[in-house]
Amino acid sequence: MFSLINWSIIRSELLNGRPVLVYDSSNRESETDMVFYARNIDYRKIAFLRREAGGLICFVSGRLFREVLGLSFIKDMFVSNSFYRKLCEKNPKYGDPPAFNIWVNHVDTTTGITDNDRALTIRRLYDVAELVYRGNSNEAIELFTREFYIPGHVPVLTSRGLMNRRGHTELVTVIAMLTDLTPAMVIAEMLSEGFSLSYEDARRYAYRNNFVFIDGVDVVDEAVKKGLIND
């Protein structure tokens, strides 16, 4: 485990297909997520997330991904319905609005839930993100509409910006930017039996496995310095 944040090491870990662990804050969820770079996802890493993390496996990107594809936050879509609006009046106990946009499957999946299927869906979402962040908006839209369908088994989340929300979605989006990677990450909460894995246990797990452990406070500080607080 690396005690000091070294962004070049984090970049190398992610590019080499190793996970990093990201803790949000004791003032929020007080959870640690296991994070992979979406470009390197395969069925083995999905299985690893299931076994070693255990939480919901999600694809995460930034504000630009949402804006180019014309995605809405799912909560905003529900608000337009008079019945669902009542359910939208509440937020999680930590107070932030959710970052969920849509749930998708790739058209070549079978059920969509297997390790192979989710890996395929996520890898192609990475390809969409690559087009988005290279400025190829029309190609990104065409690829997304041609190769995905809803509802599916991979939740897509996009950042609301650390100025508005300090969740794992926003934190890992900034981590991608700080390491010069395309904002296209895969996250899953680390769970213990009955509860989230504690901060201390998550750090011990990182130490035993020689994984980088990142505290969200440090990410926020760096995002402020680099002007990434709104991405």
Out of 31, 58, 147, 168, which one is annotated catalytic?
58
Out of 33, 117, 127, 170, which one is annotated catalytic?
33
Query: Would you call 189 a catalytic residue per the annotation?
Result: yes
Paired residues of 185 in beta bridges: 37, 60
Let me know if 99 is exposed, middle or buried by CB neighbors in 10 A (0-12, 13-18, 19+): buried
Paired residues of 37 in beta bridges: 185
61 and 173 in contact (C-beta within 8 Å)?
yes
Out of 29, 189, 215, 231, which one is annotated catalytic?
189
* Residues 149, 36: Cα–Cα separation, whole Å: 24
Considering Cα of 212, then 43, then 188, then 166, what sign does the dihedral take? positive
Out of 40, 43, 88, 153, which one is annotated catalytic?
153
Query: Would you call 33 a catalytic residue per the annotation?
Result: yes
Out of 105, 117, 205, 231, which one is annotated catalytic?
105
Out of 94, 96, 139, 222, which one is annotated catalytic?
94
At position 216, the amino acid (one-letter code) is: G
Query: Would you call 106 a catalytic residue per the annotation?
Result: no
Q: What are phi and psi of 99, to 5 degrees?
A: -105, 10
Query: Would you call 88 a catalytic residue per the annotation?
Result: no
Could you list the active site residues?
33, 58, 94, 105, 153, 189
